[in-house]
């Protein structure tokens, strides 16, 4: 914003502020008063509705009692007709204990009848309000009920509106979207009232766009009808329009006055502003004439001096800009396009050497053992003792040893000079050096503890003796022997800090990327593979089994009565059972087997190159290891409790039981249900699919089931060689799981 704009805005704020505040105060006060009065009216109306409905229910109960007190069943119809004739009720219905209607007066209202003491029906509109009493014989035995009803029609709603003095709307039911049964609202305002009623609940009052106030009155105990009450607001018409007009008029007058004042004030600065624009477009030869000795004159003198010095700086910076542009472009492209940590660190090191004029340098990262390990080096061959001068990874420095070790231990950069003959032991042969640490992003904000909280970051030294790295430190960027034999200065330090920050982001991004890839495929509670990886793995294993003519067994596992564990000991105990179960499963399968958590207490195990007999052996072993050791969990009294656990297992084999990965999973799931139905704590083999006469079932060559019905892996024809021969597949061959 220009100076003229700022002056205008300041004047408008001074002038229009009180006007806007006054208009807002008047409008809000009038709205608050109107809302308060309307809320009070609606509260009184709701009380009146409750009283009217309660009086009607009392009248209906008295009518029903009058009929129920007639002991002679033959005389009850006459009594009911008399009650209706006197206008105490519109209809009377007598039902027996089974709910069958034994008598009902003719001409009664349609169903449903809303019971005065019951919850409102959500099935449809209420046609009548009814009161029911028990019908008993002289001995007190239950004979049924007597119900007296009064229709809920437009006349009834109109009477309620007349009693309360507000508009009344009867909804068709208490739940779901509002729909009108009867209403006294005008057709023009009805949609707005219904929309407001759909948003309000309880005793709250809401306002419609046209200034009406709406409240629900029921359903509630003693008043079971879903009613909506509304009243028009009492605000003066055109109040807001008058306030807006006053504010607009004041704004127009203020803008005219502010514009005039700002133009007079800023006229001396126009010439200087034009010169600044020309300089901004690259004309550094622009000068401003000094016409006075006041503040504007001093500003012109400073501007002329600034343009002269800026021209000199631009000339010097242009050459260095072109040199750094290439390095920064390579650095940016590398950081944005790759997760290759070695490549990123090499680009950062080369950029640092080029930016500072160093002859050599190295990037070292802190490993989990507290040792700095070289990642990349430049120009250090023969200058730093290493096991393999061509391999930077053999460059290892303990934390606290030498310059780079001290930098990592303290978290502070170091720079200086020494003579090659007096260089400390273990340091490279050089004259000048500078070393800057880099830490995980966010480590400073976390109080120096950002490193250990992030995956893959080495921990800081716990005993505080100086032998560990500073909190969050990932490594160090070190440069040696600046060109010209000058020491590295503060500008070099700032440059190296910036590049070290890039290195920290790169290391952290690569580690986060690797951790995210792992977490996206594993279950966070048990550490097993998750359902997403299951879908990918079953597809891959089925393709491999199909390609090499092998079998693939799938075990579907489900912990028995796991809900009882959660309900009895809590979800923390359930989690402990799941973790222990996953540990036992991992202990009973091979490295080539894959275990997944399908969800909840359901698990899946893929057994590549395993036939049904081998899968049955694995299922027996899993059942035994789960059954044989109760899982200790924390009890309610704080003492550990041993929870017995069993598992049901379903087995399916590809291709004997299915032709696709999803189908073999479904077959194993069906077998699991069969194991559950058979009493749990066992396993069942899936049933082969029924052959269809119109579809040929593809059978993979070399995967043949023996006569005993349990398919075995590795069965081949005579031309292919004897069973049990070496496999060309990615997994070792196996005839059965005999373990």
Tell me if residue 329 falls in helix, strand or coil: helix
Cβ neighbours for 390, distance < 8 A, ≥ 6 positions apart: 381
- Does a structural domain hold residue 278? no
535: pLDDT confidence band, cut at 50, 70 and 90? very high
Based on the domain organization, do 541 and 513 belong to the same domain?
no
State the alpha helices, DSSP H only, in 147-203: 154-164, 190-199
- 211 sits in the region (left: phi over 0; alpha: psi -120 to 50; else beta) called left
Residues 389 and 433 in one domain: yes
Q: Does residue 67 lie in a domain region?
A: yes
Same domain, 175 and 227: yes
Q: Cβ distance 491 to 415 under 8 Å?
A: no
Does residue 459 surpass a pLDDT of 70?
no
Q: Is the pLDDT of residue 204 over 70?
A: yes
Please report the pLDDT score of residue 734 as a whole number: 36
Task: Supply 316's token pair.
Answer: 């010097």
Q: Which pLDDT score, from 0 to 100, does residue 460 have? A: 45
486 lies in the same domain as 559 = no
Return the pLDDT at 420: 65
Measured distance between the N- and C-terminal CA atoms of the chain, rounded to whole angstroms: 80
Task: Quickly list H helices, 357-421.
Answer: 402-410
Would you state the pLDDT for residue 721? 36
Greatest C-alpha distance within the chain: 129
Is residue 464 located within the same domain as residue 557?
Answer: no
Mean pLDDT of 157-181: 77
CA–CA separation, 400 and 365 (whole Å): 14
Whether 171 shows a pLDDT value over 70: the answer reads yes
Which residue, chain included where needed, has tokens 């060109």? 483
Look at residue 294 and tell me if it is in a domain: no
Residues 48 and 173 in one domain: yes
Whole-number pLDDT of residue 736? 36
Residue 459: count of CB within 10 angstroms of its CB: 15
Q: Does 3 fall in a domain?
A: no
CB atoms near residue 663 (< 10 Å)? 16
CATH code for the domain in which residue 432 is found: 3.30.450.40
Q: What is the mean pLDDT of residues 180-198?
A: 73
Residues 486, 459, single domain; the answer is yes
| Strands (E) located in 658-729 | 683-685
% pLDDT > 70, the chain: 80
Query: Do 479 and 356 meet the contact criterion of CB atoms below 8 Å apart?
Result: yes
Give the integer Cα–Cα distance in Å for 63 and 731.
87
pLDDT at 49 over 60: yes
- Domain for residue 131, yes or no? yes
pLDDT of residue 713: 43
Beta strands 371-378 and 396-398, pairing class: antiparallel
Q: Are 48 and 40 in contact (CB under 8 A)?
A: no
pLDDT in tens, 663-693: 999 999 999 999 999 999 999 999 888 765 5
Mean pLDDT of 723-732: 34
- Cα-atom radius of gyration of the chain, to the nearest Å? 44
Q: Smallest Cα–Cα separation from 584: which of 545, 631, 537, 551?
A: 631
The angle formed by the CA atoms of residues 470, 475 and 479, to the nearest 5 degrees, is 120
Structure-token match 């509705």, residue found: 49
State whether 558 and 695 are in the same domain: yes
Do 658 and 564 belong to one domain? yes
Three-class DSSP category at 223: strand
Q: Which two tokens stand for residue 187?
A: 């057709």
**CB 488, CB 415: distance < 8 Å:** yes
Query: Which pLDDT score, from 0 to 100, does residue 338 have?
Result: 62
Q: Name the domain count of the chain.
A: 3
Q: How do beta strands 167-171 and 113-115 pair? A: unpaired
The answer to whether the beta carbons of residues 17 and 233 sit under 8 Å apart is no
Q: Could you tell me the two tokens for 232?
A: 């028009």
| Pair (98, 157) in one structural domain | yes
Task: Give the range among 117-121, 347-351, 582-586 with minimum mean pLDDT.
Answer: 117-121
Are 373 and 476 in contact by the 8 Å Cβ rule? The answer is no
Tell me, yes or no, whether 511 and 617 share the same domain. Answer: no
CB 103 within 8 A of CB 94: yes
143 has a pLDDT exceeding 70:
yes
Least confident of 225-229, 258-262, 319-323: 319-323
- Tens of pLDDT, residues 329-375: 666 666 655 667 778 888 888 888 887 778 888 888 888 777 888 88
Q: Quick one: pLDDT at residue 107?
A: 83
> Within a domain: residue 170?
yes
Q: Answer whether 35's CB lies under 8 Å from 28's CB.
A: no
The model's pTM is: 0.38
Domain for residue 652, yes or no?
A: yes
Name the DSSP class of 720.
G
Over residues 257-273, the pLDDT tens digits come to 877 777 766 767 777 78
- Running DSSP on this structure, what letter comes out for residue 652? E
168 shares its domain with 230: yes
Question: What would the mean pLDDT of 173-194 be, rounded to a whole number?
Answer: 70
Q: What is the pLDDT of residues 54-100, one digit of tens each?
A: 888 888 889 888 888 887 888 888 888 888 888 888 898 888 888 88
Which domain, by its residues, includes 554? Answer: 531-720
CATH code, 665: 3.30.70.270
Is residue 263 included in any domain, yes or no? Answer: no
């Amino acid at each position: 914003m220009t100076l003229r704009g700022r002056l205008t805005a300041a004047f408008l704020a001074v002038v229009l502020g009180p006007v806007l505040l006054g208009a807002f105060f008047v409008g809000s006060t009038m709205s608050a008063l109107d809302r308060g009065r309307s809320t009070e009216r609606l509260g009184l109306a709701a009380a009146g509705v409750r009283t009217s409905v309660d009086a009607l229910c009392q009248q209906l109960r008295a009518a029903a009692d009058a009929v129920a007190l007639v002991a002679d069943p033959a005389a009850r119809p006459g009594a009911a007709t008399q009650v209706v004739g006197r206008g105490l009720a519109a209809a009377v219905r007598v039902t027996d204990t089974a709910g069958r209607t034994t008598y009902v007066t003719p001409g009664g209202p349609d169903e449903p009848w809303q019971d005065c003491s019951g919850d409102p029906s959500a099935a449809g509109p209420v046609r009548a309000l009814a009161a029911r009493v028990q019908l008993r014989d002289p001995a007190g035995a239950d004979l049924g009920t007597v119900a007296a009803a009064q229709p809920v029609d437009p006349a009834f709603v109109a009477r309620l509106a007349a009693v309360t003095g507000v508009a009344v709307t009867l909804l068709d039911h208490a739940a779901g979207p509002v729909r009108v049964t009867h209403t006294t609202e005008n057709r023009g305002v009805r949609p707005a009232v219904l929309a407001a009623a759909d948003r309000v609940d309880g005793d709250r009052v809401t306002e419609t766009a046209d200034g009406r106030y709406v409240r629900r009155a029921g359903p509630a105990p003693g008043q079971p009808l879903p009613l909506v009450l509304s009243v028009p607001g009492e605000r003066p018409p055109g109040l807001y329009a008058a306030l807006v007009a006053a504010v607009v008029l004041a704004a127009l007058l203020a803008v005219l006055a502010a514009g005039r004042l700002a133009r007079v004030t800023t006229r001396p600065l126009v010439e200087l502003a034009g010169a600044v624009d020309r300089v901004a477009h690259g004309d550094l030869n622009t000068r401003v004439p000094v016409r006075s000795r006041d503040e504007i004159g001093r500003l012109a003198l400073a501007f002329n001096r600034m343009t002269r010095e800026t021209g000199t700086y631009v000339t010097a910076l242009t050459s260095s800009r072109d040199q750094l542009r290439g390095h920064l472009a390579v650095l940016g492209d590398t950081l944005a396009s790759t997760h290759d940590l070695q490549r990123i660190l090499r680009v950062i090191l080369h950029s640092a050497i080029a930016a500072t004029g160093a002859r050599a340098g190295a990037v070292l990262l802190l490993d989990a053992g507290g040792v700095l390990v070289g990642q990349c080096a430049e120009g250090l061959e023969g200058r730093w003792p290493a096991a393999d001068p061509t391999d930077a990874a053999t460059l290892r420095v303990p934390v606290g040893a030498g310059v780079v070790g001290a930098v990592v231990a303290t978290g502070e950069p170091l720079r200086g000079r020494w003579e090659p003959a007096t260089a400390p032991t273990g340091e490279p042969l050089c004259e000048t050096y500078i070393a800057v640490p880099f830490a995980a992003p966010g480590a400073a904000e976390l109080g120096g503890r950002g490193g250990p909280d992030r995956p893959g970051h080495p921990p800081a030294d716990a005993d505080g003796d100086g032998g560990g790295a500073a909190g969050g430190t990932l490594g160090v960027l070190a440069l040696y022997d600046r060109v010209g034999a000058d020491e590295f200065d503060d500008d070099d330090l700032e440059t190296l800090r910036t590049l070290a920050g890039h290195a920290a982001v790169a290391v952290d991004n690569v580690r986060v990327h690797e951790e995210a890839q792992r977490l996206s495929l594993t279950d966070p509670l048990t550490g097993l593979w998750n359902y997403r990886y299951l879908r990918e793995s079953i597809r891959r294993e089925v393709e491999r089994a199909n390609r090499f003519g092998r079998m693939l067994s799938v075990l579907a596992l489900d912990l028995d009565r796991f809900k009882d564990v959660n309900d009895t000991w809590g979800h923390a105990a359930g989690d402990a059972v799941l973790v222990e179960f996953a540990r036992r499963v991992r202990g009973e399968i091979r490295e080539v087997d894959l275990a997944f958590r399908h969800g909840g207490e359901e698990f899946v195990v893929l057994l590549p190159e395993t036939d049904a007999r081998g899968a049955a052996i694995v299922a027996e072993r899993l059942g035994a290891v789960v059954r044989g050791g109760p899982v200790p969990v924390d009890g309610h009294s704080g003492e550990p409790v041993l929870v017995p656990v069993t598992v049901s297992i379903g087995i399916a084999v590809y291709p004997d039981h299915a032709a696709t990965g999803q189908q073999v999973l479904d077959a194993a799931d069906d077998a699991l249900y069969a194991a559950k139905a058979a009493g749990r704590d066992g396993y069942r083999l899936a049933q082969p699919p029924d052959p269809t006469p119109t579809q040929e079932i593809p059978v993979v060559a070399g995967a043949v089931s023996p006569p005993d019905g349990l398919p075995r892996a590795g069965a081949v024809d005579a031309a292919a060689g004897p069973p049990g021969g070496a496999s060309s597949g990615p997994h070792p061959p196996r005839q059965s799981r005999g373990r």
